[in-house]
Structure 1
Amino acid sequence: MTDLATETQLNVEDAPEGVDEPQILPLDGWHRARGGRMVPFAGYLMPVQYEGIMAEHLWTRESAGLFDVSHMGQLVFTAEAGVDAVARALEAMLPGDIGGLGEGRMRYSLLLNEEGGILDDLMVTRRANATGEDEIYMVVNGATKYDDIGYLLDVLPEDVTMNLQDEQALLALQGPKAVDALARLVPGVEALVFMTAGSFSWNGHALWISRSGYTGEDGFEISVPAEAAAALADALYAEPEVKPIGLGARDSLRLEAGLPLYGHDLDPETTPVMADLGFAVSKRRRDAADFAGAGRILAEREAGAAVRRVGLLVSGRQPVREGASVVAEDGAVIGRVTSGGFAPTLGAAIAMAYVPADLAAPGTGVRLVQRGKVHEATVAAMPFVPHRYVRASATKGA
């Protein structure tokens, strides 16, 4: 097995500003007891691998992988005036149709600055709380959650309340056999389809479960009280389909799925159109043009962005990493690689990069330079590996 540096690329970084040491997740001891190699990531100590990134990647594609994603921020928004007031407030910053979400429905969206740059990508769900009142539940990236919270506190109206659910852990069970394993423990989850969620109970503990994830596979994300996280992880691990999976395989899986990683493929200088995330700007919001950065984003939708995020198939097996340059024939730098690695499912090196719009069509040849070495690559449609989400149409007649 090759080492981490040659297998995958991670956003391993210091703790957030104001935090001197990496924080400890509720399952820290659980990971260590099962051989997890712990590394600093997004301000936390997290397992990067157990038995090896390649084996964990392939296991998730074939069976079911258990990921600890408790570093991510779970936020809940309420208002005395009701959930519609929350939706209106959030729509000032998010370009999605938050007000149009039905209960238990979720949507991928983007937190935007006034220039239309992406501050974070996130998931938004409308749900009923324990008292039956609707609220908005949001999951944000771990590396940006404190910045997100600060930004939201600055811009949200005073009548909207935001709570960080730091008493909750978050587990992701991903892979084609995830539904088999989870349904034995939590009957009823099999009725969920992609981008829907609901309340469930396990051993007297309330769970919030969505059929979603960031691997391109079918799967679930499970919000569980931190005090019950180890017991639930044990119960899942006891199922024959399930093995624990670290950050390394999570990164290679999302890269094969063509999914951007904030801090690498997305940043405040990048707009949704540049990032090929135009689907996150809903038609109603485009027509209203009432979200942050709407002028710039709508102009780019009309005229096209100068650069675009694309997938690359790299010649040979040596991965090309973030920071490599895309160069013209005369050697001038015209783009940049933002993610790259070896794709175990494909047996090939792949990457994502920002290139000039006239080079963004699949099949276009480009040249990359990494540490002085030239690599040939071809623009490829994403995802590199087809998504296997279970959508509503797939369940009809089942």
Structure 2
Amino acid sequence: MSDHDDEDVIIETMTLPLDGWHRAHGGRMVEFAGYWMPVQFEGIMAEHLWTRESAGLFDVSHMGQITFRGEGLVPALEAMMPADIAGLALNRARYSLLLDEGGGILDDLMLTRLPADEDGERIYMVVNGATKYDDIAHMLDHLPDDITLNLMEDHALLALQGPKAVDALVRLVPGVDALVFMQAAPFTWQGHNLWISRSGYTGEDGFEISIPAEGVEAFADALLEQPEVKPIGLGARDSLRLEAGLPLYGHDLSPEITPVMAELGFALFKRRREEGGFPGAERILAERENGPITKRVGLLVEGRQPVREGATVLDEDGSTVGSVTSGGFAPSVGAPIAMAYVPLAMATPGTRIQLSQRGKVHAATVTSMPFVPHRYVRGAK
């Protein structure tokens, strides 16, 4: 076997359970996180605004759905991330971060505490699609041998997002309207077991629905029959999360970034800050106390031309001092917006900065995020 044989291996792009469904509904397919996925159906701008006004259906089955079970599971997971899992109520979800030993972010994730069974504690977790196999390898390296990890490859994951999502979903799944933000529960639909959380990544009210893959096409059809619902692609998913000020792993988050730099201090829970015991705790807590060197900020960009990822942030002398990690035209704002990492001294809202993209300089102003208000349902409506 030659040294070059492994260079000739072709990694085939995978398909999701709804691949044919997307194509039949006019989805323009692109490669993303190792899968063929729809970037748009009728157009990114229209899909974005429809989600803000009504209800958009997103296929996020590329993401990793993982279940864990076993005695000692909670402290084992707390040793890898700064979440207070022990203090999490049953069937409640929490955003957290998988950290490396230096406090860098390996992934951001959602975890839900399930009722324990005869085999011990149980957790349901959703991780990013592009990192799921690396995440699993990392967690298996750090979990005790008697903890069981299961990647739910036989399940699809849908997100129904927007102010009318609840109106559409409750017709198919009675009782789902009783959930509040970051709460989850089991339901059934035509004999299929669903796991539904009131959550999402658009800044809107909405739901994430885990369903066995064999039932997802019929369920997607049933959702699309509701007048509030249209299929939405990756393009609008990105512009929606950007307007909501939500970071995307691999762009705004990476192992070079800590939770404090990323402005994700809310993920550092009080008990965990006091006790430590998570990777990079010393560095992260010092940054929290003294301020990080660089910080994620929102930018309002002057003019109409979007500034994209990779553009540089300049200081008064024209030297590069930071970089744009996400950027685009924001349909709900009506202007270009971006996220960037800038020196702490430039991170105050109202600070005017310059951005360089392909030799052209753009003016921008640091602003608070989100760019549009979050509309989560946190209590009875």
TM-score, normalized by length of structure 2? 0.96
In structure 1, the partner of 2:46 is: 55
- Provide the residue aligned with 1:35 in structure 2: 26
Q: Distance in 1 between matches of 2:244 and 2:342?
A: 19
Q: Structure 2, unaligned stretches of length 5 or more?
A: 1-8
Write the mapping of 1:62-101 to structure 2, written as runs, cut at 5 A: 62-79=53-70, 81=71, 85-101=72-88
Deviations 1:221-253 (A, max 9, x none): 000000000000000000000000000000000
Q: How many Å separate the matches in 2 of 1:241 and 1:128? A: 34
In the alignment, which of 298, 302, 325 is matched to residue 338 of structure 1? 325
Q: Tell me which residue corresponds to 2:4.
A: none
Superposition deviation, residue 131 in structure 1: 7.8
Distance (whole Å) between structure 2 residues aligned to residue 131 and residue 160 of structure 1: 13
- What's the counterpart of residue 210 of structure 1? 197
What does residue range 226-245 of structure 1 map to in structure 2 within 5 Å?
226-245=213-232
1:109, CA displacement in angstroms? 0.1
Helix, strand or coil: the match of 1:30? helix
Q: Does the alignment pair 1:328 with 2:315?
A: yes
CA deviation profile, 1:39-68 (whole Å, cap 9, x unmatched): 000000000000000000000000000000
The runs of 4+ residues in structure 1 deviating greater than 3 Å are 128-134
Deviation at 1:297, TM superposition (A): 0.2
- Of 183, 187, 196, the residue aligned with 2:174 is 187
Matched, 1:263 2:250: yes
Offset from partner CA, 1:331-361 (integer Å, 9 cap, x none)? 1100000000000001100000000001101
Percent identical residues: 72
Matched, 1:277 2:277: no
1:110-129 equivalences under 5 Å are: 110-128=97-115
Q: Distance in 2 between matches of 1:248 and 1:283?
A: 36
Across the aligned residues of Structure 1 and Structure 2, the Cα RMSD in angstroms comes to 1.2
Q: Show structure 1 runs of 5+ residues with no match.
A: 1-17
**Alignment correspondent of 1:147:** 134
Kept in 1: contact 2:260–2:288 (CA 8 A): yes
> 18, 25, 36: which is aligned to 2:16?
25
Q: Does 1:318 align with 2:305?
A: yes
Count, aligned residues: 373
Specify the code of the residue in structure 2 equivalent to 1:180.
Answer: D
Separation in structure 1 between the aligned mates of residue 26 and residue 114 of structure 2, nearest angstrom: 37
1:102 is displaced (CA, Å) by: 1.2
How far residue 128 of structure 1 moved from its aligned partner, in angstroms, is 3.3
What secondary structure is seen at the aligned counterpart in 2 of 1:145?
helix
CA contact (8 A) 2:73 2:121 kept: no
C-alpha spacing 1:70/1:115, structure 2 compared with 1 (3 Å): same
Partner of 2:284: 297
